[in-house]
Amino acid sequence: MADYSDIKYEKRGRVGILTLNRPNKLNALWPPMEDEIRRCWREFNRDPGARSLVITGAGRGFCTGEDVGVLREILEEYSKPGATPQRASAIPQDLIEMVEKPVVAAVNGAAAGAGFGLALAADIRIASESAAFHCIYSRRGLVCSCEVWFLPRLMHLGPAVHKILLGETIDSGEALKYNLVSEVVPDDRLMDRTMEVAERLAAGPPSALKFTKKAIQNALISDLKSSMEYVSYVRGAASSAEADEGGRAFLEKRPPRW
């Protein structure tokens, strides 16, 4: 198990739990922390005993995006003549590209900027009643980041454009209404409920879930015909032993053993 400074990682049974651990900074991201997150994801991917991942934040916030000091450097650099385009955190995109197993975000408190994107990049999101999602870029004079990809796909286009352009906050009730989260639970129930979901995922067929994730991601950028061709391809790549066990369990009227 790797040693980390800005995050914590533990396993409970077959569930890995990554906790963003800069509570005095509301778990704001900065380059050393992002490096640790990626190292943790690689460790999680390599561990056959870890079958699902929970991501949450320590303290009273999930993640408020880029650290103020890092953001100040970006803005100062961008204000110079001939500056290159603004750097955006790649953490949300990396979560999708690097982690093949199911991911559940337990969103406690504020999720803003890249922290909002990190929550959206999870496969399932469960929010506490005090959670809030902040589209802050336009209020800082910045072009929005990965929310421009996620929000129109998860919400209707009209509300997504409204929130992005006006830089408005989405509270937990709105997040549930707009399908940004699967559930909203009392603050003191967040981790218990998230673990229930993560444990159900961990009990599922690992190969089938991995390739189902890939098929969903492919479908977002494909037409129907191409998507079905990709499904046929990944079915061939998935574990035939899992399919055999699933069929036998159905015929024998028993739970499958993955």
Residue 196, amino acid: E
Q: DSSP assignment, residue 131?
A: -
First to last CA, the chain: 25
Neighbour count for residue 140 (Cβ, 10 Å): 10
In this prediction, residue 190 carries a pLDDT of: 98
Q: Looking at the structure, do residues 46 and 160 belong to the same domain, yes or no?
A: yes
> What pTM was estimated for this model as a whole?
0.90
In this prediction, residue 211 carries a pLDDT of: 93
Q: Looking at the structure, do residues 47 and 76 belong to the same domain, yes or no?
A: yes
The number of distinct structural domains making up the chain is 2
Q: Looking at the structure, do residues 105 and 223 belong to the same domain, yes or no?
A: no
Q: Looking at the structure, do residues 162 and 226 belong to the same domain, yes or no?
A: no
Residue 97 lies in a domain: yes
Residue 60 lies in a domain: yes
Cβ atoms of residues 27 and 58 within 8 Å? yes
CA 75/CA 255 separation, integer angstroms: 55
Residue 35 lies in a domain: yes
Output phi, psi for 37, to 5 deg.
-60, -45
In this prediction, residue 88 carries a pLDDT of: 65
CA 159/CA 134 separation, integer angstroms: 14
Q: Looking at the structure, do residues 214 and 166 belong to the same domain, yes or no?
A: no
Residue 96 lies in a domain: yes
Q: Last residue of a domain, which of 178, 202, 226?
A: 202
Q: Looking at the structure, do residues 79 and 19 belong to the same domain, yes or no?
A: yes
Residue 157 lies in a domain: yes
In this prediction, residue 94 carries a pLDDT of: 95
Q: Looking at the structure, do residues 147 and 230 belong to the same domain, yes or no?
A: no
Q: Looking at the structure, do residues 170 and 245 belong to the same domain, yes or no?
A: no
Residue 257 lies in a domain: no
Torsion angle of the four alpha carbons 176, 29, 146, 224, in this order, in degrees rounded to the nearest 10: -70
**Domain coverage including residue 220:** 206-252
Q: Looking at the structure, do residues 95 and 160 belong to the same domain, yes or no?
A: yes
Q: Looking at the structure, do residues 104 and 144 belong to the same domain, yes or no?
A: yes
Indicate the SS3 state at residue 208: helix
In this prediction, residue 192 carries a pLDDT of: 98
Q: Looking at the structure, do residues 227 and 155 belong to the same domain, yes or no?
A: no
Q: How many CA atoms lie within 13 A of 94 on its CB side?
A: 16
Handedness of CA 189, 23, 73, 39 (dihedral sign): negative
Cβ atoms of residues 20 and 58 within 8 Å? yes
Q: Last residue of a domain, which of 183, 202, 221?
A: 202
CA 168/CA 202 separation, integer angstroms: 35
CA 138/CA 175 separation, integer angstroms: 20
Cβ atoms of residues 89 and 29 within 8 Å? yes
Q: Looking at the structure, do residues 224 and 100 belong to the same domain, yes or no?
A: no
* Residues with pLDDT less than 50, the chain: none
Neighbour count for residue 227 (Cβ, 10 Å): 16
Residue 153: enclosing H or E segment and its boundaries? helix 147-154
How is residue 153 written in tokens?
A: 């796909």
CA 59/CA 61 separation, integer angstroms: 6
In this prediction, residue 81 carries a pLDDT of: 67
Residue with tokens 């015929």: 251
- Using one digit for the tens of pLDDT, what is the confidence trace for 195-244? 999 999 999 999 999 999 999 999 999 999 999 999 999 988 888 888 88
In this prediction, residue 145 carries a pLDDT of: 85
The CA–CA distances, whole Å, from 8 to 27, 88, 118, 133 equal 12, 24, 16, 23
